[in-house]
Structure 1
Amino acid sequence: MMKFVKSMAGAALLSGAVMASTWAGEIDSIAILTPEEGTDFGWNQQGIESAKAAGEATGVEVIVAQGLGYGDVRPTLRELAEEGAGLLIAHASGYNTSAPEIAEELGVPVAVVDTPSARTEGLIADYTLSGHEGAYLAGRLAAKMTRSKAVGIVVSGEPPSWNSQSAGFAEGVRDEDPEVDITYAVIGPAAYSDAAGGKRVTESVIAAGADIIFGQGNGSSFGMIQAVATATAADGGEVWFIDVIGDKSSVAEDVLLSSVIWDITPVYTAMIEDIRSDTYGTKTYAIGLADDSVRLLKTDAIPDDVWAEIEEIRANIVSGELTVEPIFEATKVRALMTDVSE
């Protein structure tokens, strides 16, 4: 029997090979599956921490299955269902085929990403989240602070969540200063954990003139940070890094300009409540600036006057005076860039 990390939140785990039920109102435990360890200060860690927080808020136990890779997770999904999990959160786009299959097979509610079409009442929910509003602010910040009038976007793939942030960042740069060039580089089709590739591609973007890098990469972001930390901009000054989802201040303080921080806790909490109210699989989940489930990280590297301007832009978005629409299609994202490379 595979062992999983369990977070207790006041509910006992069902013992033995008891299959989870989909009866409305009955949910004692949930499970989250992540491809990488929850130590990346990003997608995997935020997913795990948010699931634990949602479990604490709703009084359910949380089972964590991490570091599973991007292969076939059907056996793990089945085992977690047998352990009694009443909701399986498949926290990777690579799981969006196997998880719905297991949901249909066992009748256990699952949550998937990047697959809105899979949504099935009572059984399958999609949480294709978008931090585009925060990324827009990051683009405005980058355009205000670049010295070279050149910034870069480095991504570990082109899933919808990354695409919407890339587009939001590019639109923010353009709205702030249309003269700033944007180099867009893709490490690979699914290079989420490729730190070596992240370093190599980021170095090439910096060599092209960028002095600020907006990186989206999970594990590969550590390679991006290495490249930024050892690089010198064309003018002899520093290169800055803008991260996504988590706060890497503790490991990248010298090069971290900001981060588009996500908090998925409200989403997972809503999923548990939807199962209890028999409305699971009928809603679209979102994060955004209005409730601080998306926010831009303030670091000491950002001058106070610049931050005040960013805060004013944020207020305009929250009030509806300024609208930032998500763009999920990779082809439309690429069309926003000055230069594209893979």
Structure 2
Amino acid sequence: MKSKMMLAIAVSFVMGCSTVVHADEGKSRVAALFTQTVTQGSWDMAGYAAFKSMATKEGFSPSYLEHTTYESAPSVLRQLASEGVKLIIAHSSGYSSAIKEVAPSFPNTQFVLYSYESSTSNLSNYSAWSVDWDEYGFVLGALAATASKTGHIAVISGEPIPSAERTVQFIKKGAAYVNPKVQVDSAYVGSFTDVARAKEIATGVIARGADFVIPSADTADAGIQQAADEEGVLTIGSYTDQSKSFPSSIMTSTVMNFDKSYADIGKHFADHQLGNRIITENLSTGGWTLATPFTHVGKDVQDSVFKVIADLKAGKIKIED
């Protein structure tokens, strides 16, 4: 009972603190769910900025919720839909099961997931903008293996949610594509926010010989990047250009095109085109890219990685093989 009461208070507090007042009944109410704060890290912070921009452009009345756990998501989604929110965007693949549980009871609310989804379960009010994490992981694996001098790399993820598991699987495939003898260590922090634990794990894999560490733990990435910086190995920025954060160790950054995806979501909602569909975001659609120029490596490394990207776009590499 106490946890339910705290959840209700937390939802009311965050929505009450939203900078937008829901006084204009003529505007469609939209909301977004985030697993962490929208003022730190890169995944949620950039996603929130894109959500806010979309709402402004389309003239929606927005609110958002931070620190929404996967366990509490069904209750949060029900509350939002019951209060008349017409579009709810969940910014993590970990919210998939909650949406599929709640959406059938609220046919007048459109639910959208941004990150990864394999099926909308034929729900007429559920859509997903699904990043091709297979492709994403493959490129990261190829990148790390190309830059590595020891042939030993590592990937450290937050929690074993669907997108993370797919990413790790294809990092290993991409690394093996450029170096069949590469060693790939993988580990989960067990959290997207535990910076200290992430750093501890990263320091350990570096001590075992990894000279390139791929961070995939959202806010906890800072611990991984810090360990790489202190131990003199390479790493990357995640989701936004983070090169200024750890300039001595970040070689490049993956840059997700959140603005494009969220603008598409808003337009589809305004045009009544949402429901039972999955939109794939990948290199070819402009869903993400790599920041250039690469640093701390020769231009041949950058050229090799972008050759892999070009071959992926051209269909010359079949990553499912």
Query: In structure 2, how many angstroms separate the alpha carbons of the residues matched to 1:223 and 1:210?
Result: 16
Cα shift at 1:308: 2.2
- 2:279 match: secondary structure: coil
Q: Structure 1 residues 124, 308: CA separation in 2 closer, same or farther (over 3 Å shift)?
A: same
Instruction: Tell me the CA shift for residue 143 of structure 1.
Output: 1.8
State how 1:116-131 maps to structure 2 within 5 Å: 116-131=118-133
Q: In 2, distance between residues paired with 1:44 and 1:133? A: 21
> In the alignment, which residue of structure 2 is the partner of 1:183?
185
> What's the counterpart of residue 245 of structure 1?
239
Report the counterpart of residue 9 of structure 2 in structure 1. none
**1:8-19 pair list within 5 angstroms:** 13=22, 15=24
Aligned partners of 1:314 and 1:7: how far apart in 2?
40
**Structure with greater contact order relative to length (CA < 8 Å, sep ≥ 6):** 1
2:30–2:88 CA contact under 8 A, matched in 1 = yes
Q: CA deviation at 1:88?
A: 0.7
Q: How much has 1:225 moved relative to structure 2?
A: 1.8
Aligned-pair distance for 1:120? 4.3
What residue in structure 1 maps to residue 103 of structure 2? 103
Distance 1:244 1:122, change over 3 A: same
Equivalent position of 1:229 in the other structure = 229
Larger mean CA deviation between 138-147 and 94-103 belongs to: 94-103
Number of aligned residues? 306
- 1:261 paired residue number: 255
Cα deviation, residue 285, structure 1:
1.7
Q: 1:296 to 1:131 in 2, by over 3 A?
A: farther
Q: Which of 302, 311, 317 pairs up with 1:307?
A: 302
Q: Residue 311 of structure 1 aligns to which amino acid in structure 2?
A: F
State how far apart, in whole Å, the 1-side matches of 2:287 and 2:110 are: 24
CA distance in 2, matches of 1:295, 1:257: 14
**Do the aligned residues in 2 keep the contact of 1:73 with 1:98 (CA within 8 Å)?**
yes
Ranges in structure 2 where 5+ consecutive residues have no aligned partner: 1-11
Consecutive unaligned residues of structure 1, counting only runs of 5 or more, are 19-25, 232-237, 328-342
Query: Does the CA contact (< 8 Å) of 2:153 and 2:184 recur in 1?
Result: yes
Moved more, 238-247 or 81-90: 81-90
User: Residues 119 and 264 of structure 1: is their aligned pair in 2 closer, same or farther, counting only changes over 3 Å?
Assistant: farther
Secondary structure, in 3 states, of the residue corresponding to 1:250?
A: coil
Contact 1:27 1:276 in 2 (8 A): no
Of the three residues 157, 166, 169, the one matched with 1:167 is 169
- 5 Å matches for 1:176-215? 176-188=178-190, 191-215=191-215
Supply the AA of the counterpart residue of 2:309: R
Amino acid at match of 1:111: V
The corresponding residue for 2:277 is: 283
Q: Secondary structure at the residue paired with 2:244?
A: helix
What SS does structure 2 have at the residue aligned with 1:196?
A: helix
Match of 1:321 among 295, 310, 316: 316
Q: Which amino acid aligns with 1:152?
A: A
Q: CA offsets, 1:38-63, max 9 Å, x none? A: 23443212321232343345443432
Cα distance change on mapping 1:300 and 1:116 into 2, 3 Å? closer
Aligned-pair identity in percent equals: 20
Question: Counterparts in 2 of 1:14-53, with a 5 A limit?
Answer: 15=24, 28-53=28-53
> What is the rounded CA distance, in whole Å, between the counterparts of 2:291 and 2:165 in structure 1?
20
TM-score between both structures, scaled by the size of structure 2: 0.82
- The residue aligned with 1:334 is none
Report the residue type matching 1:109 in the other structure.
Q
Tell whether the 8 Å contact from 1:7 to 1:61 is kept in structure 2 after alignment. Answer: no
Q: 1:210 to 1:130 in 2, by over 3 A?
A: same
Mapped to 1, the partners of 2:40 and 2:312 lie a distance apart of 29
Within-5 A mapping of 1:129-144: 129-144=131-146
Identify which range, 219-228 or 113-122, moves more after superposition.
113-122
1:125 Cα deviation from its structure 2 partner = 2.2
Distance 1:186 1:196, change over 3 A: same
Does structure 1 retain, via aligned residues, the 8 Å contact 2:120–2:276?
no
Is 2:237–2:253's contact at 8 Å kept on the other side of the alignment?
yes
Q: How does 1:76-87 map to 2 (within 5 A)?
A: 76-78=76-78, 80-81=80-81, 84-87=84-87
Distance 2:73 2:284 in 1: 35
Is the contact between residue 135 and residue 319 of structure 2 (CA under 8 Å) also seen in structure 1? yes
Letter in 2 for 1:131: W
Deviation at residue 196 of structure 1 after TM alignment = 2.0
Cα separation, 2, equivalents of 1:122 and 1:173:
39
- Report the equivalent of 1:270: 264
Deviations 1:258-312 (A, max 9, x none): 2322223343333334334444222112111113212122243343232122222
Give the residue type in structure 1 aligned to 2:153.
Answer: V
Return closer, same or farther for 1:7/1:81 CA change in 2, 3 Å cut-off.
farther
Corresponding residue to 2:289 among 274, 289, 295: 295
The aligned amino acid for 2:134 is H
1:144–1:127 CA distance, 2 compared to 1 (3 A):
same
Greater fraction of residues in helix: 2
* C-alpha deviation, 1:149, in angstroms: 1.6
